Amino acid sequence: MKQTLLYLAMALILLAAISSVALLASDSKILEVPGRRAAVISALPLLAVGFSFLILQPILRPRWAELFKNLLLAATFLL
């Protein structure tokens, strides 16, 4: 289970990196992206990082105070 969560978190981080590059390419007019797709591409890195940090919490097993801070940090990326 731990290994599966770790692979899922790594895949989400890779997705965040790829979508960040796509966002930079669309901003520099290398890649033409219509309006709605641009909004999805710009939100995807933050969502992927937030979900990957949330998925890592059972693996890291922080103390309660640290877990609360980590959940608040993940919520900032998700919101």
Q: What is the mean pLDDT of the chain?
A: 88
Across residues 22-44, what is the average pLDDT? 77
DSSP helix/strand/coil, 58:
helix
Alpha-helical runs (H) found in the chain: 2-27, 35-60, 64-78
Q: Which among 45, 38, 43, 39 is positioned nearest to 13, based on CA atoms?
A: 45
Buried b (16+ CB within 10 A) or exposed e, 7-24: eebeebbebbeebbebbe
Q: What is the pLDDT of residue 42?
A: 84
Sign, CA dihedral 70-74-76-79, equals negative
